[in-house]
Amino acid sequence: MISSVPLNAGRRRVFGSVFSPASLQARPPFESSSELDQTQLASFQSTGSSSTVRTASLASPQQERSPDAPRDREIWEQAWSAATAFLAVPNQGFAPIYDARQTDGSEALKDWNRLSPPSKETADALSYLAATIQQGNTGYGVTAGSKSLIDWYGDEIRRHFLVNLRSGLHELLKTPGKESLLRTIVDCLQLARRIYLAPVVHYLLPLLQAQKQGRVLTQLQRGFHTVVSYSLPWSEISPLLGGELAQDALIILGIDTLLENTAEAEAEDEGGEDEMEVDRQYSVSYADWKNEDSETRAHLMTEGEHDQVTMARDRLLAFLNGLQQVGLGGDKAQKVFASVMNIMMTEFVRAAYTGQWETPSSVPQHLRHWIENVFARLAVQVLAIIHTPHAGGQPSSPLDVSFGDVEKWQEMGVARLGALRTSELFDVIVDWPASSGAVDDLRHFTTHPAARAHVTQSFITILNQRLLHPGASTVEILQLYISIIRAFHLLDPKGVLLDRIARPIRRYLRDRDDTIKVIVSGLLAEPGATSSKTPSYANETLVELSTELSKAHQLSMETNTSELDWDDMNWMPDPVDAAPDYRKSKSSDVIDSLVSLFDSKETFVKELQTLLSDRLLQKREHYDQEISVLELLKVRFGDSALQACEVMLRDISDSGRVDEVIRKDQGLLRPPTRLFNKRPPEPPVPDIHAKILSRFFWPEIQDQDFKIPDEITSLQRRYATGFEALKASRKLTWRNGLGQVLVELQLGDRAFSEEVTTWQATVIHAFHSDHDEGATRTVPNLAEQLEMTPTLVRSACLFWVSKRILTESSRDEFSVLEYLPSDDEDEFGIPGGDGGDADMQSGDASNAAAAAEAAAAAAAKEAAEAAAMEKMNLYWQFIVGMLTNQGAMPLQRIVMMLSIVVPGGFPFSNEELREFLAGMVSRGKLEIVSGGNYKLVH
């Protein structure tokens, strides 16, 4: 207490010099300051809690009034009451603040009486109290130790806020869907803050030491922040804040222009505004960036910011400033900001790069550039404002964002890009090779196993959804598979990813019946023949394959790398995420991948044989395409596998020579060399050429057997003799159903000459007559005469009807149209004759042609059925063997056994087999015993 004596004395002296005793005495201790006007006084007194505080604070001094300090006490009390009266916040409620939120606030401050300078006495009181604060204790000795003016004012702020503003703010918060609601709130709060702090700042703080000023202000501010965050639940603020941030960030980060641009690009044709030109200087669009040279690129995002962006940035930063001031900033706001930025990055990547698949791709560079210059810039600016107030309220170092952070963001950006590309991957591959840039982008992403697993996994899901279903044609799937092979080869040269992706596709393709057929016909297709059309999709062959075949061949010659090349200095181990049975394959080799789809080469070779035989039996001058394909395939499969095909090709080329020799030997040559002339009207000997096939090496050829005209038969006999003379111990079997015939018909009024099939020629030959009037034949007669199936006969007749050689006089009865009806002469002879009739006629002809085609198809089907029955006979042998050795069996068991033992599987359904067996039962070869078991009849 010794030290306090001089202080007390000093204080009294100071106090005395400032406060005139008279004036102090003139004022009753509990009187309000006379400067306060009547309303303020009223409101002041009506504030119950405030009065309580005051009386409470004064109650203790009254009790402990020590005899030596009544004077001080009184002075202090008077000063206190003057100061609190001055500082007390009028209870005006929320409405005035809300109304004044848009103004600069000075008006409101005046209204609230926050700016009017204190009267002399009040000022004295303030400085007296300030002095007590200054000294560290609270003024009048121990009496008011628990209470300082500042604490009181803090309470006052809290009280006022809770009483007047809180409910108003709550109501504001509840207002649904209000535009920039948070901004309003922040404005209000800022105004409130100014109202609260203005008198302190203006009149109290100057009285304090500089160092103390800060502390006092911080204390008051912290009190304000606490009550604000207490009154406004963060759960309601954060979505609002998120919305505000997102709204401006969209503009600042340039995402809105990107979205607009895409919309604009669509509307460009309708003379869209040249806004693009204005935007040019500052654009985050990838397309713009890409078109610039590297010099400009560097500046594109950093300079010449668009007005709108600047405005948005200023607005956002100002808003955040306010936010921080009213205590809604800090780490909570940072969290919201972070989540918004997170969304923004995804959004940007999506908006900027969707569908940007050009090669070479500089998307990753552009993205990194954007993150560094635009994204990070905003982050730095925002974080500088909504810093966490720690370490005595000092803002932490201005660089909250280190360069490491920016790098991390860039990595995240690339990962987002990867995710985007992964989701686009299917479309990318459909567009291949125009879209290789996208795969480049993806390569930046697939650097670690998890990312690679993600890519493959999601791609397989998409594949299953979009490709591997019955709706997709085999050609499409194969086409895409080829693209996938190429794309993934680029993505991952090691082929591990492809290996993983390819498995489901390959499994699926294996289940498709026509896969081999498509592949083989693709291989045999003429490259370039269909290249003018849209690539390969529309026409049902994969022309690409044949191109690929010749190309891949050259490649395989160049790169002959094997795992056993021990001098390979660039050898790399298999990637860690390779499957256990992963083999470093030449996965990029499309042909190999496709051919290896099947268990054995045999299936493939068999299909190749079938197709080859079809093509070789066509009448053509040369077969270069087939030969070259075969040679290329031999490189892959080895000679032995393709031996049969080889023989087939040789047969064809040999038969040319043999044909010549035989014809010379047998005197079949005729001076007028018209090839394939079987039935000329004048010279009785038609010309015959043959292709000699080695039956053993050719696939089974579907044949329709019938009796050919005698002239031809005799020719064939002579030809066969010649052949047997030439090649002893070999015999010719004629395949009458195959081949072409050049038919020349001499009719009453016209001649006809065309190349047709053998059976068509045979049928028309049967109509041959020397009489002038047209001969008439019926289908059953012809069928009997020619030993041909009626369907085939009818089909041939209809064909001739379509050529207007025959007419169907009544059902199944055809006669030769020796003379065309007169209106036909109009059609052919005099142009502009009876047009309608001619139309009708040609319509008839085309109808007949269609009918002929249908009939031919029916005939072919019949033949196929016959062939199937033929096969069924073989199965009958199996069934007999089965029932002999295993005893009676039910149908199910028979089908099961057949499917096991028959090579290539049993092609008939249960129903078909049941029917067949029923036939056998009725023929007495089988009987059905108890339990539906079939048993052989001995």
Partner 1 sequence: MDYTMEDTQNSAPETLEATKLSGAGQRGDTQSVTKRLQAELMQLMISPSPGISAFPDADGNLLSWTATITGPTETPYEGLTLKLSFAFPNNYPYSPPTVLFKTPIYHPNVDFSGRICLDILKDKWSAVYNVQSVLLSLQSLLGEPNNASPLNAQAAELWDSDQAEFKKHVLARHRDLDDE
CB of 284 or CB of 451, closer to partner 1: 451
CA distance 558 to 320: 65
Question: Among 872, 859, 873, 869, which Cα is nearest to 704's?
Answer: 859
Q: Which one of residues 880, 891, 921, 928 is an interface residue with partner 1 (CB under 8 A)?
A: 880
Angle at 193 between CA 191 and CA 194, to 5 degrees: 65
Residues 502-541 that bind partner 1 (CB under 8 A): 503-504, 506-507, 510
Question: Among 712, 839, 863, 840, which Cα is nearest to 791's?
Answer: 863
Q: Shortest gap between Cβ of 670 and partner 1 (angstroms)?
A: 44
Structure tokens at 904: 């290539």
Q: Which one of residues 63, 900, 911, 924 is an interface residue with partner 1 (CB under 8 A)?
A: 900
893 binds partner 1 (CB under 8 A): yes
Q: Shortest gap between Cβ of 506 and partner 1 (angstroms)?
A: 8
CA distance 387 to 328: 11
Beta 677-679 vs 740-746: how paired, if at all?
Answer: parallel
If one counts every other C-beta atom within 10 angstroms of the C-beta of residue 494, the result is 17
CA distance 742 to 677: 5
Q: Which one of residues 85, 249, 300, 882 is an interface residue with partner 1 (CB under 8 A)?
A: 882
CB of 707 or CB of 893, closer to partner 1: 893
CB of 810 or CB of 877, closer to partner 1: 877
Q: Which residues contact 556 (CB under 8 A, 6 or more apart)?
A: 586, 589, 635
Measure Cα distances from 653 to 667, 675, 730, 919 in Å: 22, 17, 18, 46
Q: Which one of residues 457, 753, 822, 846 is an interface residue with partner 1 (CB under 8 A)?
A: 457
Looking up tokens 């911080």 gives 218
Q: Which residues contact 144 (CB under 8 A, 6 or more apart)?
A: 57, 60, 61, 76, 80, 138
897 binds partner 1 (CB under 8 A): yes
Q: Shortest gap between Cβ of 589 and partner 1 (angstroms)?
A: 16
699 binds partner 1 (CB under 8 A): no
If one counts every other C-beta atom within 10 angstroms of the C-beta of residue 286, the result is 20
Structure tokens at 800: 């001739």
Report residue 814: phi and psi, to 5°.
Answer: -120, 145
Question: Among 368, 480, 361, 465, which Cα is nearest to 421's?
Answer: 361
Say how many residues make up the chain: 938
903 binds partner 1 (CB under 8 A): yes
640 binds partner 1 (CB under 8 A): no
Structure tokens at 421: 């590309």
Looking up tokens 């990055």 gives 345
Query: At residue 732, what is the residue type?
Result: L
Question: Among 452, 451, 442, which Cα is nearest to 349's?
Answer: 442
620 binds partner 1 (CB under 8 A): no
Q: Which one of residues 661, 874, 918, 937 is an interface residue with partner 1 (CB under 8 A)?
A: 874
Q: Shortest gap between Cβ of 581 and partner 1 (angstroms)?
A: 5
Q: Shortest gap between Cβ of 455 and partner 1 (angstroms)?
A: 10
SS3 763: helix
638 binds partner 1 (CB under 8 A): no
Q: How many residues bind partner 1 (CB under 8 A)?
A: 36
Q: Shortest gap between Cβ of 637 and partner 1 (angstroms)?
A: 16
Query: At residue 584, what is the residue type?
Result: K
CB of 107 or CB of 602, closer to partner 1: 602
Q: Which one of residues 63, 729, 885, 922 is an interface residue with partner 1 (CB under 8 A)?
A: 885
Q: Which one of residues 115, 259, 888, 891 is an interface residue with partner 1 (CB under 8 A)?
A: 888
Question: Segment near partner 1 (CB under 8 A), from 6-14, 525-533, 803-811, 894-902?
Answer: 894-902
Q: Shortest gap between Cβ of 503 and partner 1 (angstroms)?
A: 4
Q: Shortest gap between Cβ of 644 and partner 1 (angstroms)?
A: 17
Looking up tokens 């081949």 gives 739
SS3 675: coil
CA distance 154 to 447: 57
CA distance 473 to 470: 7
599 binds partner 1 (CB under 8 A): yes
Q: Is the CB of residue 224 less than 8 Å from the CB of residue 193? A: yes
Question: Segment near partner 1 (CB under 8 A), from 41-49, 166-174, 250-258, 897-905?
Answer: 897-905
Q: Which residues lie across from 929 on neighbouring strands?
A: 933
Q: Shortest gap between Cβ of 634 and partner 1 (angstroms)?
A: 22
Question: Segment near partner 1 (CB under 8 A), from 84-92, 182-190, 783-791, 889-897?
Answer: 889-897
881 binds partner 1 (CB under 8 A): yes
Q: Shortest gap between Cβ of 889 and partner 1 (angstroms)?
A: 8
CB of 380 or CB of 888, closer to partner 1: 888
Question: Segment near partner 1 (CB under 8 A), from 57-65, 389-397, 440-448, 501-509?
Answer: 501-509
User: Rounded to the nearest 10 degrees, how much is the dihedral formed by the CA atoms of 463, 464, 465, 470?
Assistant: 110
CB of 453 or CB of 720, closer to partner 1: 453
636 binds partner 1 (CB under 8 A): no
696 binds partner 1 (CB under 8 A): no
901 binds partner 1 (CB under 8 A): yes
Q: Shortest gap between Cβ of 502 and partner 1 (angstroms)?
A: 10
CB of 605 or CB of 715, closer to partner 1: 605
Q: Shortest gap between Cβ of 898 and partner 1 (angstroms)?
A: 11
Q: How far is CA 640 from the centre of its chain?
A: 45
450 binds partner 1 (CB under 8 A): yes
Handedness of CA 502, 504, 506, 508 (dihedral sign): negative
Q: Shortest gap between Cβ of 880 and partner 1 (angstroms)?
A: 7
Q: Is 640 exposed, middle or buried (0-12, 13-18, 19+ CB in 10 A)?
A: exposed
Question: Segment near partner 1 (CB under 8 A), from 445-453, 464-472, 618-626, 781-789?
Answer: 445-453
280 binds partner 1 (CB under 8 A): no
Question: Segment near partner 1 (CB under 8 A), from 89-97, 171-179, 448-456, 607-615?
Answer: 448-456
CB of 455 or CB of 693, closer to partner 1: 455
Q: Which one of residues 421, 500, 512, 804 is an interface residue with partner 1 (CB under 8 A)?
A: 500
Q: Is the CB of residue 645 less than 8 Å from the CB of residue 605? A: yes
SS3 751: strand
886 binds partner 1 (CB under 8 A): yes
Residues 575-594 that bind partner 1 (CB under 8 A): 577, 579-581
932 binds partner 1 (CB under 8 A): no
Whether a cis peptide bond, with omega within 30° of 0, leads into 433 is yes
Q: What is the 3-state secondary structure (H, E, C) of 845-903?
A: HHHHHHHHHHHHHHHHHHHHHHHHHHHHHHHHHHHHHHHHHHCCECHHHHHHHHHHHCC
Q: Shortest gap between Cβ of 771 and partner 1 (angstroms)?
A: 52
Question: Among 361, 127, 350, which Cα is nearest to 259's?
Answer: 350
Q: Shortest gap between Cβ of 158 and partner 1 (angstroms)?
A: 51
Q: Which residues contact 126 (CB under 8 A, 6 or more apart)?
A: 79, 82, 83, 86, 118, 203, 204, 207
- Catalog residues that contact partner 1 under the rule CB under 8 A: 449-450, 453-454, 457, 500, 503-504, 506-507, 510, 577, 579-581, 596, 599, 874, 877-878, 880-882, 884-888, 893, 896-897, 900-901, 903, 933, 935
